[in-house]
Structure 1
Amino acid sequence: MRLGPDGFHDRREAGRLLAERLAPLSVPTPVVLALPRGGVPVAYEVARALRAPLDLILVRKIGAPGHEEYAIGAVVDGEPPQVVRNEAVIAALRVPESYIAEETARQVAEIARRRAAYLGPRPPLPVEGRTAIVVDDGIATGATVKAALRGLARARPARLILAVPVAPPEVLAELRPLVDELHCLLAPDPFRAVGLFYDDFSQTADEEVVTLLEQASAHRFGEKAPR
């Protein structure tokens, strides 16, 4: 399969191309972690090619008091969840620790609710000592991916790999020090939006996420997952 000059047909094709890039690597005990929802179809193809379990990596922002869109940190899904703090912003805004604790608990609960909606009672897959491969359908600003990578690093994977179809070069440069390996198929300059590099960038439905996770789970246990 060859990458077209303008990008990808859809997320599944992007995932197959990423899988081709990753297949020659020596990846011991991999676990593939998708950023939902758009990262799941991409990650499914990677997980299937590597015969690796597929899980979600959910990230929730901790917003500043009275300005929820202004991040002072983030909570990253895991067992246990990891908290990434922006200490400079917290100090500048004099955010009370009690507020951070309350917001952290609220976001942990929201992560649990979303995980249950997609995966039922299944707990997060352990990443300690394994090769964690984080996959999304593309990166724009990198804020969510950066929080995910920093949180995962605290879970002590043996190797941390970021694999995405498309991202701007300057963001890749910021993310590269956070991982052991970074694989990106397209790094256009100038970069405008992830969706411009897909023929079909329609929203990934919750139902598709659930179906793909179920299929990946079956594949993980030695059953052939349907396409």
Structure 2
Amino acid sequence: MTDLLEVKSLKKSFGAVEVLKDVSFSVPSGTVTVIIGPSGSGKTTVLRALNALDPADGGRIRIGDVAVDFDSTVSPAQLRAFRAQSGMVFQQHNLFPHKTVLQNVIEGPVIVQKRARDEAIAEAHRLLDEVGLDVKSDQYPFQLSGGQQQRVGIARALALRPKLMLFDEPTSALDPELVGEVLAVIKGLAAEGWTMVIVTHEIRFAEQVADEVLFIEGGVVVERGKPATVLRNPTEARTRQFLQRILA
């Protein structure tokens, strides 16, 4: 199986704080990698580096046939081409409040990618139907529940036709009763063969959806492997300690 994503020696600092020290991993095409770890471990920073929202200070990332070497000077055009390879779903929904659901989904394809409006609208309806919200296409974000807004956010990311989907704790801002509907959509994407990297605190969900789990702490990958191993019988004492606390 070919690796769609390859990360080598990723480094990132904010001021004097070294958040990512040396992170390397790969994600085969059509698989799901889940990243877990305590707050401040660097999980979100990894995702933001993968989407170039926070470009890395060092290391190399390849998504498909587009690679960026952050040990060298990276041009704005290179960053744009790299960022176009992935779609990001954030903790907060980040929808445009003054635009309808449909307008939110077509914004990227029409404005950023310059695709034909009719084509973008047709695809948006298909994607909204996939997440169970096409009936809400003419409503505004304030008329939706948090779970519905997050599902629109997923459709919006998919509309950009990315090779890689990134999820940063997509259920952390939701009421507990709304979590299931978002996780169900992500499970559906996994079943369709989307390549995904997911940061989550939902350990049971990780166990169900992941092909591989990474435990990150202190800016390094402490342990990685199949979910049955990392989540049920981890090798590293620190992984065991973390899971005992989060599952207690």
Please identify which structure carries the higher strand content: 2
Say yes or no: TM over 0.5.
Answer: no
TM-score (norm 2): 0.32
